[in-house]
Homo-oligomer: A and B are copies of this chain.
């Protein structure tokens, strides 16, 4: 199921070591000003996670195949791809028999009866999020009133992210982290109960990103320790402003106009240099796996720009829906 969205619909395709990866964005209104250059800033943020992420050889430059003409969206589906570089894919043969712990190798083999292209982790690779970021850059042009910003707020349980990452690198190991995303000045009234509430739509998209283990909105899990009197956000003004923001900008699945706040839990990278006990499924014996090559010590470093893209895509979809089916008579 590689299509997401109701009106602003994205379809993701590609494998890590295949010919190309990309995205089709369907349902984007016509007349939005955009060019390849507009996609570059977010694509570059995704590409270069800095220390703790593997250096990418690919330029990952976007090529627009359809849907944009004379720097404007046309109303037809927008297709954007980037070519994959050359890879030494033979490294991955080993993982057919000795699947990497924590990785998709094992389930992919069973689900796809051995036919999945798992070179570079194939369609399960984090590389596939490239299309999400490209689509997010377009979505941001639809919800221009909102300001979307995500950042890594902890790694390995520490707020000192550099320290956690260096420690993991030194140990041929990896660490997880928490990414927080905030949307200032969001449109009010976005979200379609019962099953396409703001949180429902966003969490569906967020959990598509590899390595995500949890999501929480506003006070999140901490809300479970609060009383109602503390948790309830008291209204203070006619614009719906509140004293606190424990709801994270969403009530009843619908944005209330206050800042949207959500946090996502990113697990530590599965592929690590340290030796791991595991199982050889062909030989049916215990074994020790030593994964060579370079790996992200902290994939969470790459996630903020993807989280922003996800938020933008969901907001764009919900804006388009709300414009049609709400009782509001204004236009965007």
Contact = CB atoms under 8 A, between A and B. Distances in A.
Interface stretch (A45-53, A143-151, A189-197): A189-197
- The size class of the interface chain A forms with chain B is 35 or more
A136 interface: no
Contact of A63 (B19, B27, B256, B320): B19
Nearest to A5: B195
Interface in A216-255: 216-221, 223-238, 240, 242-243, 246-248, 251-255
Taken together, the copies of this chain in the complex come to: 4
A40 interface: no
Nearest to A329: B331
A326 B111 contact: yes
A31 B69 CA distance: 38
A272 B203 contact: no
A122 B70 CA distance: 13
19 contacts: A2-B77, A7-B325, A14-B76, A15-B76, A19-B65, A20-B79, A101-B242, A104-B252, A104-B254, A106-B240, A111-B327, A155-B224, A173-B227, A175-B228, A197-B207, A207-B253, A215-B215, A238-B284, A246-B267
